Structure formats: structure tokens, C-alpha cells
């Protein structure tokens, strides 16, 4: 990102007015670590997978000392903004892209006095998840057995949906499935009563059936559904009922 000046909010508070954010630099992708395994008797190595880590956001700032504050007061103000909620991190918003929010925390101590003397410096944030969160998309529809919902996912990072299902009739002990395309299938093995809501949070790996935990009904072979990248997806259901599907558009 690049601009003459940005507005920035962290933990619901805008950066102090005497701190001018000149540029914001962020990595296009989160940190990526390749897993390599050597093969005995062969040259080189084989990539067996990757690990996706954090994303960094760096802000080049200029401090214009206010005339009505002492140096100590200025330091306390900025330190309070940077520390957020007891350093637990929080929501970071940048004016150039207000539709995407980052769950971030300050990476290291910022020497406010040095910034004031030098006039310029850098504030660095870490986004542990590696991606920003965009808008939430929600849709509700009555589906018959074997019918599908079509999803036009726009995000560049994976998103795990939340599916709410209210059966339209009693269902004896059986396997119920939700499927993305033909490859990813989430299953539940249980009996279900008409009108009792089933909620499956794919991201949090949580299931409730009529308000009670349903994790024990999830077979070990079941896969938690996700939309891996921007594409059109078909979510197929095995049984009839009222369905609500929601997801966030996540962005690297």
C-alpha cells in the first residue's frame, strides 16, 4: 500500500492525531516455510508440504509534537494506543481498505522518544492468522434432499463456513452429510428431530444439536468444509430442511 497519508484504527481507537502515517507496507502473502525431506541415495530433496505463518504490516510514521502536551504526555498517549487491550491485540483497520480488518498486535517496543527526536519511525504489527477478514456473506434457503447451494467465494485465503440446518422431518439414526464439490465431505451420524437446529462451525470445529454438543456424532473420517480460494463452489446436502450458510471473505 502507498499513499500520502493514512488513517489507522487499532482496538476501536484512531491513532493519535499527532502521528501521521505516511506509508503502509504489507507482505503480499504470509510467511511460508517449505517442508523438505531428503531421499536416501538420491540427489536433492522432496517438498512434502508447507507451513503458512504470520503476516506483517509496517507503518512509516512521522510525529508532529503537539504544542499543548509535554513529551511524557505524548509518550503515554501513544503507548496507550499501541498497547490496546493489555497487549492481547485487537482489530486493525486501515483507511485505504476499510472492508478488510486484521486481528493484530504490536510486534515490538516502539521508542517514542526516538521517534519524536528523529521525526520519523516505523510501527510494526503482526497478524498471526496470516490473513485479513472481509465481509460476512449469509444466505438462507429451503433445500430438498440432494439439493445444492451455489457459493461465489471471492476471498484469496481459505474460509470455513458455518452451516445451520433445521430438519423438516424426524430422521432416524443415519449419516447426514454436507459436501463441497465432490472432494470434501462433512458427516454426522445421529438421529434428528424436526425443528431442532443443528449448527456446524467448520472453523471452530464445533457442532451443536438442539443446543447440546454434537462433536461425538462426528466420525473420524469426516472433513471440516472450507472454501480454499476464490472460486465457485457447490455445497450439497443429504437431507431436506431449512439451511443457513455464512462465511467470511478472507484475504491474504
* pLDDT tops 70 at residue 1: no
User: How far are the Cα atoms of 94, 157, 174, 175, 202 from residue 132, in angstroms, in the given order?
Assistant: 11, 9, 38, 35, 18
Comparison of pLDDT for 64 and 99, the residue scoring more? 99
In 3D, which of 220, 242, 235, 248 has the Cα closest to residue 177? 235
Please list the residues that pair with 246 across neighbouring strands: 138, 162
Measured CA angle at 45 (ends 43, 48), to 5 deg: 150
Return the domain boundaries, the chain. 8-130, 133-251
Provide the CA 108 distance to its chain's centre, in angstroms: 22
* pLDDT tops 90 at residue 143: yes
pLDDT at 46: 81
Note the pTM of the prediction, 2 decimals: 0.78
C-alpha 243/C-alpha 165 separation (Å) is 5
For 73-90, how does the pLDDT look when each residue is reduced to its tens digit (9 = 90+)? 777 777 788 876 767 778
Output the DSSP codes for 56-94: EEEEEEEE---TTS-HHHHHHHHHHHHHTTTTS-EEEEE
Please list the residues that pair with 91 across neighbouring strands: 103
Cell triple for 139: 444466505
pLDDT at 146: 95
* pLDDT tops 90 at residue 247: yes
pLDDT at 191: 95
As a whole number, mean pLDDT of residues 33-60 equals 80
As a whole number, mean pLDDT of residues 199-203 equals 97
pLDDT at 28: 76
Cell triple for 155: 476471498
State the sign of the Cα–Cα–Cα–Cα dihedral 215, 218, 221, 223: negative
In 3D, which of 94, 232, 98, 101 has the Cα closest to residue 154? 232
C-alpha 28/C-alpha 130 separation (Å) is 10
Q: Which CATH number fits domain 8-130: 3.40.50.1100, 2.40.30.200, 2.60.40.420, 2.130.10.10?
A: 2.40.30.200
Architecture of domain 133-251: Sandwich (2.60)
Measured CA angle at 17 (ends 14, 21), to 5 deg: 80
Amino acid at each position: 500500500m502507498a499513499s500520502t497519508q493514512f488513517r489507522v484504527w487499532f482496538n476501536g481507537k484512531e491513532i493519535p492525531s499527532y502521528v501521521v502515517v505516511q506509508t503502509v507496507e504489507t507482505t503480499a502473502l504470509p510467511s511460508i516455510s517449505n517442508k523438505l525431506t531428503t531421499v536416501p541415495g538420491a540427489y536433492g530433496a522432496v517438498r512434502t508440504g508447507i507451513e503458512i505463518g504470520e503476516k506483517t504490516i509496517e507503518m512509516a510514521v512521522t510525529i508532529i509534537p503537539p504544542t499543548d502536551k509535554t513529551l511524557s504526555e505524548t509518550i503515554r498517549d501513544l503507548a496507550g494506543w499501541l498497547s490496546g487491550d493489555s497487549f492481547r491485540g485487537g482489530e486493525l483497520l486501515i483507511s485505504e481498505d476499510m472492508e478488510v480488518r486484521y486481528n493484530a498486535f504490536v510486534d515490538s517496543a516502539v521508542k517514542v522518544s526516538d521517534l519524536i527526536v528523529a521525526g520519523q519511525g516505523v510501527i510494526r504489527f503482526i497478524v498471526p492468522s496470516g490473513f485479513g477478514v472481509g465481509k460476512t456473506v449469509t444466505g438462507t434457503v429451503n433445500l430438498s434432499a440432494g439439493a445444492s447451494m451455489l457459493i461465489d467465494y471471492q476471498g484469496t485465503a481459505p474460509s470455513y463456513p458455518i452451516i445451520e440446518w433445521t430438519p423438516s422431518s424426524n430422521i432416524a439414526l443415519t449419516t447426514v452429510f454436507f459436501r463441497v464439490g465432490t472432494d470434501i465431505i462433512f458427516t454426522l451420524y445421529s438421529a434428528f428431530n424436526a425443528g431442532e437446529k443443528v449448527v456446524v462451525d467448520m472453523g471452530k470445529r464445533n457442532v451443536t444439536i438442539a443446543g447440546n454438543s454434537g462433536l461425538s456424532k462426528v466420525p473420524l473420517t469426516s472433513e471440516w468444509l472450507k472454501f480454499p480460494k476464490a472460486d465457485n463452489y457447490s455445497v450439497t446436502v443429504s437431507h431436506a430442511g431449512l439451511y443457513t450458510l455464512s462465511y467470511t471473505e478472507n484475504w491474504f
